[in-house]
Structure 1
Amino acid sequence: MRVSELRFSLADVAGVRLAVSPANETVMSMWALASPVYYAVHLPWIDRARVTLRRPEVAARVRPLVELTRPHCWLPDFLTPAARPNVEMAEQLDQIAATPPDVVVRDLLATTPRRPLGAFGRALLTDPRGLLPQVVDAVRVWYDEAIAPDWPQMRALLDADVAYRAAQLAEGGAGQFFEQLHPSLRWHGDRVVSDDPFERDFDLRGRGLALNPGVFTDRRVLWNLLEDSLPAGVYPVRAVGTLWETAATPPGDPLARVIGPGRAALLHLLETAVTTTDLARLARMSAGNVSQHLTALHAAGLVSRSRQGRHVLYRNTDAAKVLLRASRGG
């Protein structure tokens, strides 16, 4: 079995951090579009995105991104910058735009062992300073057209995962955290060993490690390709199968008849930890209505709440899970 190893110092262990990366989701979504069979869970999004990409004005501007995200090939590291907590898309676009030309060339060449670059990739190699703005524009357009309409739902799922993993890290330490992060990872004293066909060996060199949950990361943890890039990894987000479920309660839901459709809708969404703001987006309710419903559900012992940094997260209690199973006939 092929593996990659990431070697940690004490400073690297202390520098493990979790964040959500809109740029990663925008770039990696292209893989789902190119290989829908492998990303069947995202078919509702894929169907809409394909219609968007067929629009001539979108297709022309997004083509550089399409060419740089070749299926079954590495991504150039500069396209997936390491994210920090609460980073916004505009800031990550600025990071990509600020990539030095020699780094663009280095990252592109590193992606070629399995498959040569296409026409735009070869042109970018010869004129990285002149053509990088087209790459940035392609990422921006694809985010605006294909990701932004669904970003509230994606963000809610990703934020919930970050909160869950942060609690694991705080409670169990780095070794237990990595062992539980994904079945392909193992903690061996001072290093993470990762099942990985690309066989990389990295010394983090005190730079820490940025980790992002990924909606469009389906099978394993993806690491930055080059050791000289900022250390970063993307792991599959939990509960991705719930992402495209409608926020409405199921037709004829008996639970809605007992506690009301609004509160029932929230319970259906609270199988992972979610903030009030993200619940309002997902349920298409005002924040005030969501807050009132949560207060009632919490008083009834159906939801729990916990604080993670600046956020208060709500989640179903065991009693709510029993009600949901009963209402679904389970």
Structure 2
Amino acid sequence: MEFRLGTTDISAIRFGISPGHELVHAVRTVLRPQVVPLHWGWFRTLRDELTSEGFRLMAVIIGVDGYMPDFLTADPSGDLTPEEELEQLRRVPDERLRYDLGKMVIRSSGARQQEIRELIADPDRARTRIVAAWQTVWETLLAPVWPQMSRLLRADIAVRARRISDAGLGEMVATLHSTVTWHDDAVRVQLPHYEASIDCGGTGLLLVPSVMATRRCSVLDEPPTHPTIFYPAHGISETWHRPTSDVLEALTALLGSARARLVMELQRPLSTSECAQLTGLATSTASHHLTVLRNAGLVDSRRAGARVLHTRTPLSEALAGGH
């Protein structure tokens, strides 16, 4: 898949967060947990609601691999909340719903194919059922861990933005994934079953990190959606979902109590004196520990006027489980 970029497109490259993209890949993880070992710990925490009608319907329209209806992940511009994503789903036009589900018809068979045909035949009822199913599945699968996930996603975006300022846009794009390259003002994504080339036409390119989709990249390239690349976020480990108490205990054993507390407190950019105050350390002691954490790749420090602000890196976000 090739996204050709003009001058206007290059200046309009931006990042987004898509709760809908995370949800559809969470459903696929539940359907085939054997292929995503990084999510086994999260998978074991799930409850019996996976047998609900809502989950069954989402599984029918999403499938286990390959194409999924674009209206479930369309237009993740900016930092969308789950509520905003759901509101977009409520406003999906009939023709868009029919078009995307029509693609699923030719990718299915038997009872599943017939059920999707029935959804297409009555788009108003289909939309109502899909919205209700989305809400049910969100509350079951992702609502309990969304704070951890959203912090991991934002940490990834922060690191990518800094990489642009330090090394340039092309260098940043080349680090999105092993299947993504930048060449001759075009971003290319290797996909297993799809090939196309589009001119972004001044709309820019949207880059969306993902916690749940850890295996490969995916794209959106059909109007009216913005050209989009979904890519695996930095720093995802099998313990990303852990509760706070377990995380602090494990980090203390690894780093010592002072450095573990600093990692846990750096949920937003903090100055050295703020870090000292929150952890009960002397400012000089906090500064020493922050230097050690920075040298280990767990803290990023940037000057902002007269202050130096410290933030977590994606690696420390993963160690902290997003807490």
Counterpart CA distance in 1 for 2:74 and 2:92 is 10
Aligned-partner SS, 1:104: helix
The sequence identity of aligned pairs, in percent, is: 26
The answer to whether structure 1 residue 44 and structure 2 residue 59 are counterparts is no
Q: How does 1:22-101 map to 2 (within 5 A)?
A: 22-49=19-46, 51-54=48-51, 59-101=52-94
The answer to whether structure 1 residue 205 and structure 2 residue 201 are counterparts is yes
- The offset of 1:32, in angstroms, is 0.6
Aligned-partner SS, 1:234: strand
Aligned-partner SS, 1:73: coil
- The offset of 1:255, in angstroms, is 4.7
Aligned length: 292
Counterpart CA distance in 2 for 1:177 and 1:42 is 26
Tell me which amino acid in the other structure corresponds to 1:239: G
* CA-atom RMSD in angstroms: 3.1
- The residue that corresponds to 2:14 in the other structure is 17
- The offset of 1:74, in angstroms, is 0.7
User: Are the structure 2 counterparts of residues 30 and 307 from structure 1 closer, same or farther at C-alpha, using a change threshold of 3 Å?
Assistant: farther
Tell me which amino acid in the other structure corresponds to 1:203: D
Deviations 1:91-150 (A, max 9, x none): 111111111110111122234554345344222211112210211121122112221111
- The residue that corresponds to 1:249 in the other structure is 249
Q: How does 1:122-133 map to 2 (within 5 A)?
A: 122-133=117-128
User: Are the structure 2 counterparts of residues 292 and 12 from structure 1 closer, same or farther at C-alpha, using a change threshold of 3 Å?
Assistant: farther
Q: Aligned match of 2:152 in 157, 163, 167?
A: 157
Gaps of at least 5 residues in structure 2 are: 270-274, 294-299
Counterpart CA distance in 2 for 1:21 and 1:288 is 35
Aligned-partner SS, 1:160: helix
Aligned-partner SS, 2:17: coil
Report if aligned partners of 2:120, 2:126 keep a CA contact under 8 Å in 1.
no
Aligned-partner SS, 1:110: helix
- The residue that corresponds to 2:297 in the other structure is none
Report if aligned partners of 1:9, 1:204 keep a CA contact under 8 Å in 2.
yes
Tell me which amino acid in the other structure corresponds to 1:36: P
Q: Aligned match of 2:137 in 125, 133, 142?
A: 142
User: Are the structure 2 counterparts of residues 291 and 158 from structure 1 closer, same or farther at C-alpha, using a change threshold of 3 Å?
Assistant: farther
Tell me which amino acid in the other structure corresponds to 1:238: H
Q: Aligned match of 1:230 in 222, 226, 231?
A: 226
Counterpart CA distance in 1 for 2:230 and 2:152 is 15
Counterpart CA distance in 2 for 1:229 and 1:103 is 11
The answer to whether structure 1 residue 166 and structure 2 residue 161 are counterparts is yes
Counterpart CA distance in 1 for 2:128 and 2:311 is 41
Aligned-partner SS, 2:247: coil
- The offset of 1:269, in angstroms, is 5.8
TM-score by length of 1: 0.78
Counterpart CA distance in 2 for 1:153 and 1:291 is 21
Counterpart CA distance in 1 for 2:35 and 2:251 is 30
User: Are the structure 2 counterparts of residues 294 and 30 from structure 1 closer, same or farther at C-alpha, using a change threshold of 3 Å?
Assistant: farther
The answer to whether structure 1 residue 8 and structure 2 residue 5 are counterparts is yes
- The residue that corresponds to 1:282 in the other structure is none
Counterpart CA distance in 1 for 2:138 and 2:62 is 15
TM-score by length of 2: 0.79
Gaps of at least 5 residues in structure 1 are: 278-286, 325-330
Aligned-partner SS, 2:88: helix
- The offset of 1:154, in angstroms, is 1.0
User: Are the structure 2 counterparts of residues 168 and 192 from structure 1 closer, same or farther at C-alpha, using a change threshold of 3 Å?
Assistant: same
Counterpart CA distance in 1 for 2:210 and 2:240 is 12
- The offset of 1:28, in angstroms, is 1.5
Q: Aligned match of 2:287 in 298, 317, 326?
A: 298
Aligned-partner SS, 1:275: coil
- The residue that corresponds to 2:272 in the other structure is none
* 200-209 or 38-47: bigger deviation: 200-209
Aligned-partner SS, 2:46: helix
Deviations 1:5-31 (A, max 9, x none): 111122211111112222211221111
- The offset of 1:186, in angstroms, is 1.2
Counterpart CA distance in 2 for 1:43 and 1:306 is 36
Counterpart CA distance in 2 for 1:158 and 1:111 is 29
Report if aligned partners of 1:73, 1:114 keep a CA contact under 8 Å in 2.
no
Aligned-partner SS, 2:234: coil
